[in-house]
Chain A
Amino acid sequence: MIVRNAAGRIAAIALGVAVADGISAPRAWAQTVRVVNMIPTTLGNETNQDSEPDLTIDPNNADIIIATAFTPNPSGVLTHAPVYVSLDGGATWALNNIVPSGNGMTGDITVTCSGNNVLYAGILRGGAGLDMRILRGSPCTSGTAMIQLVGRTQEDQPYARSLTPPTGAQANNDVLFVGHNDFNNSPRTASMEQSLNAATAPAPAGLGVVRLERRAPFGQDGPPIRPAMHPDGTVYAVYTQRTASAGNVRTGNIVVVRDNDFGQGPNAYSDLVDPGDATAGLRVVTGVNWIFDLGSVFGQERLGDRASIAVDPNNSQTVYVAWVDRAGLPGNTASVHVRRSTDGGANWSADVLTVNSALSPQLAVNAAGDVACLYQQLTGAGAGQRWQTHFRQSADDGSNWSDLVLANHPANTPAMTFLPYLGDYVGLSAVGDDFYGVFSASNVPDLANFPQGVTYQRGANFTTHTLRDASNNPVAASIDPFFFTVLAPRPQIQIPGGVDFGDRCVATAPGTGVLNVCNTGQANLIVDGVASSDPVFAVSTPSGGFPVTISPDFCFPFQVKFTPTSPGPKSATLTVSSNDPDVPSVQVTASAAVGQATAVTLVADTGTFGELCPNPAKFRDLPLTINNSGSCPLTITAISSSSAEFEIAQVLGFPLSVGPGDSIAVPIRFHPTSEGAKSAKLTISSNDPAAPSKVVTVTGSAPPSYVCEPPVFASIDTAIGPTWGTGRTGKYTFNGSGHVLAPFGPGKAFGVQAQGEYMYYPGRQEGQLDSALLYRHGPLQYGVSGSFKTANLRSEASAGALSHATLSLDLFLTDVRFGIFGSKGLRETDVVTLSETIGAVTPLGQPVIATEQLVHTVDQLGGALQFELIPNAWLDANLAYLHRYAPGASDTVGGAIRLSALVFTNVALTAQFDLNESFVGPNAVGTFTFGVTLGRWSRPSDYANPINPLGTLIPRVRYERFERIR
């Protein structure tokens, strides 16, 4: 069955045919065959006989192919001959004039492109008989003339092949072998020109001749000496050994030699010894005969020796050899024979392929171990004779063969220009599992002549079967070279698309997608691995592991796991490596749009709870708002507080889920248990990948107790004791007083101090009420007070009422209070006794003389001091300068000093000494009293209180008495 594509260029062929020798081919083949006429467009008018082709493929790039044929230099220049060059796998060709020549052509020419991109050629120089040249050029596609490494006459059929072993002693060397028939060594003419490293060294680049023939042939060996190399160093060669000659019939042996180490050493090619004569070189077959006739006796072709050899690239011990002989048939004819050895040439099979009336077998073994044989067969008889070019392939060691007829054209046209008509050889090479080849055939554009289809670059009309030049003029038919490929049934990878995971969320469970890898080819697709450029897209190894074999028309769903770790658009390149020969590596994209939960927290008042006094019953709540500004649900797994004084609502049940764009408010309770600055870190544990533990700091403060419970001082004092001084109004005194201080206002920095005192002396009694307004500012305390006193001097008619105002300033240090004060009378005077008398009569009348006993306030300017003597005992003292108003009285001082000792809570005993404590007489008076204080009044231990008023000294209204007459 033949299936052509629309262009008719490529045919996919399923073969189940019976081959010519009657062996059925049970295996179905589905090769892709392409045949290309190699004459380029610009040579559409050429009519040369482009016969005897050869080719070489760049080992590193199968798109680069160099081929040769007996093609003259189209420019007419005689100094160089062309080679064919293709850069696109043989689809199109060009001619490069790079081969030195004497007539614009070459004689025999073979080429080999090495792994180091060096092109070697073995040629017979055009127009010079048996003038062998071994040439070198680089790169293989170079347009620069090749240079000569070796030149020697009396040589025939140089057949160049190279190998660049990847490993071993010759690793990366260009090992060059040129089989040649050296008449300079007749009769042992079969020889090998070889170099272990020919790439760059100056001529002769290590080339030296090794004689292959160890016997004494009849006159000479035959022209074909063909090498075949294996990368392990095994080198074979086959040649035809003449043993007799009669007329145009030659009799001889087909000999194979082998060297196990690249043909080195003095006994090169002696590793295969013929047991028959213990001589190096095993005779595969003996006593065969063939026609050696230089006339156009066989479909316009000449007849002669033909041989080919190929080694299995997988096993250097498996080797095939082919030759032609007459096979007992009458007349000028030839038969192709192919045999096989699996022990390095020691033993050979019978013919695995025999084709009568055929020439120019060329063998190759592909990477799969399939052997192929290209040959040209003359069929029919008389005017109906046709040349058929066959490509045969066996996948079972030669038991069964496919048969592709690549060309089939009349043998009598076009007319022969020279010999060989089609060539003494054709070209065939294995590239992986594929075969690339070249042959020469009639270029008549008739699809009937090309059963597999054909592509022409030059002008060709397949309807009229005529060639056309660029001006559409008919061009005579001739022999052209044809390139062909037979591509092995191959897998074809197809991946419908990448893997789209859609919208995903960070830190969620991995998503799983499917990467379908399909095989639309005709052979098993073997996927060696699927690599991801980003580990977040991980391809799961199938349960059976890699490689994964996918049958034709099947797909395999590779599991791709996506583990989102960060937000944003995500993509990775998944590289699928397979045995698809055209696209061994396919890249597809795995993608996802990854969102995430994003916790945004808000706390009222920036998380500051303000001041709150410790109190079991008091707390303050602020909402902690958690907003999810991301695109995925926010899961809150816990909210914790670093401080028990900031409490999380106990009613919350975790986890909490907050949808994208939503918010929740979590109450945070500030419940201080002690004074001082408070803070806590609230930790919100969530699935926010950016902040899985988001910390919010909240602060607050609990004022000190003197703020939360500002001290209210209240005490009652009473004392009794003797008086002293000559102006005293009694021998003893008794007094009692009450004090109260209450803070108020912002921060309790203000205070009202109120106090009252009663003083008893046997000669007088006094009562005084005071009130003061205090303001505490840091260590300072400002005070303004007013005092009202009633003094009842028993010696006077009535009591006097006085008042004064006081300004005070206190400084509180750690253990001491300093104070200054100044008092000025408000109601400065009062008449306590008035006596009137009638004076003497005067012209103006009789006056009334009033004599008044006054009490008058004494202005004061003084200081006060309080400090702790020992724990629970402190000293109060004050001293004032007293400014008097009594006529003739001098200013004096007054003061007091009191020792207080706390004996019980709120009970202190006092001892006090006073000087001019109230009534300022003509002489100093004072008291010495002992008393008790009940209650609580400020003392040095209170000075740590930096806020509240702590009481101040309000001086007694001091007064004096004097007489005034009016």
Chain B
Amino acid sequence: MTVRHLGLAVSLLLLPGLPAHGQAPDNRASAPYVFLGTVTAPPSAGTSPDAGRLVVVDEILLQRGTFENQTGRQVEVLGVPPRLQAKAQYVFYTEPVRFGQRIVVRLVDVGESTGVAAASQGANAKQQVADAFVRREIGERAALAELVISGTVSSVRQLARTATRDTEHDPDFRVALVKVERVLKGKPAGGEVEFVFAASRDVQWFQAPKFRIGDRGVLFLQRPAREATELGVSQQLLTLLHPSDYRPQAQLPVVEAALKAVGQ
């Protein structure tokens, strides 16, 4: 079973620089790379206007994806507003866009750094940022889902398809039957729900969650998209193909909290 790692508990502690009500702005919550950084000297004359500002990463508050720890290193930040002072510290909400000898990130938002570096505050800040990101992510997936349930897979069978292709990218659709334990969104027809997942190990499908009997977790189930129906999935079936649409059972509280926070 492939799942995404979620190691942070939801916390609504305030992050300095965030709104007082504890809700991170959506754009900040979409930033996969958040760090406390110190702005270096302004770019020298002649530097391309497209060039970013170099910022030393002092402390990483959130890092999704897999790349080298940049703590203590310089990253190039695109879109830094001129008001940022050299040698001053800020919270940078960013999305990495280029990985080379140095990482280039696009600035999503920037906040003041007051108090973030303090040890206790730093931990809270990291938690806040991680929670906001997860909350947004869960909210986005839940919005696309017809059903969000927790349950246990009780059976798995091959999907009978009429439309097959002789292609390396065959999804090898399977149908899992899950016994519903808790409904977080939607109204399942009964206590058991079937959904289609891709068992293929092809590059197009290997990230799609795979299920075996006994697997338990939180499921975000959607009606099949066009590509799925063209590959033989009936519109009557629900699908779980996106890697973010499955979360281990241990993350049920996180999901619940996130759904509550986003009003679903």
Q: A residues near B, CB below 8 A?
A: 40-48, 51-52, 70, 72-78, 82, 85, 92-97, 102-103, 105, 107-108, 124, 126-131, 143, 153-154, 156, 181, 183, 219-220, 222-223, 242, 245, 250, 292, 294, 296, 302, 304, 416-420, 424, 457, 469-471
Contact = CB atoms under 8 A, between A and B. Distances in A.
B203 A420 contact: yes
A44 B205 CA distance: 26
A48 B202 CA distance: 14
A827 B231 CA distance: 164
18 contacts: A41-B100, A43-B67, A45-B66, A74-B96, A75-B67, A76-B32, A96-B98, A103-B207, A127-B242, A129-B204, A129-B228, A153-B230, A154-B165, A181-B167, A294-B200, A294-B202, A296-B201, A302-B168
A143 B96 contact: no
Interface of B: 32-33, 63-70, 95-104, 165-172, 200-208, 225-228, 230-231, 241-244
Give the interface SS of chain A, mostly helix, strand, loop or mixed: loop
Contacts of B64: 75-77
B96 A97 contact: yes
Contacts of B67: 42-43, 45-46, 74-75
Given A75-B95, A130-B167, A220-B166, 18 more contacts: A43-B66, A70-B203, A74-B66, A75-B96, A94-B99, A95-B100, A97-B96, A105-B203, A108-B169, A124-B169, A127-B242, A129-B230, A130-B230, A131-B227, A154-B165, A154-B230, A156-B167, A222-B166
B100 A130 contact: no
Nearest to B100: A94
Contacts of B65: 72-77
B165 A105 contact: no
A153 B98 contact: no
Residue from B95, B165, B166, B201 having most chain A Cβ neighbours under 10 A: B166
Contacts of B66: 43, 45-48, 74, 76
B207 A470 contact: no
Nearest to B208: A127
Contacts of A77: 32, 64-65, 95-96
Given A73-B65, A77-B64, A143 B97 contact: yes
A292 B103 contact: no
Contact of B100 (A42, A127, A242): A42
Contacts of A42: 67-68, 70, 99-103
Contacts of B172: 294
Which 10 residue pairs are nearest across A and B when measured between Cβ atoms? A94-B100, A76-B64, A76-B65, A418-B206, A75-B96, A107-B204, A95-B99, A75-B65, A470-B68, A129-B227
Residue from B95, B203, B208, B225 having most chain A Cβ neighbours under 10 A: B203
A471 B243 contact: no
Nearest to B171: A129
B123 to A, nearest CB: 21
B68 A292 contact: no
A866 to B, nearest CB: 99
B67 to A, nearest CB: 4
Contacts of A44: 68
Contacts of A245: 166
Nearest to A107: B204
A96 B96 CA distance: 9
A94 B204 contact: no
B168 A419 contact: yes
Contacts of B206: 417-419
Nearest to B226: A153
A224 to B, nearest CB: 10
A103 B202 contact: no
Contacts of B101: 40-42, 92, 94, 457
A183 B171 CA distance: 15
B100 A129 contact: no
Given A76-B65, A124-B204, A96 B97 contact: yes
A129 B98 contact: no
B32 A471 contact: no
Contact of A52 (B69, B99, B203, B244): B203
Contacts of B166: 219-220, 222, 242, 245, 250, 292
Contact of A130 (B70, B95, B165): B165
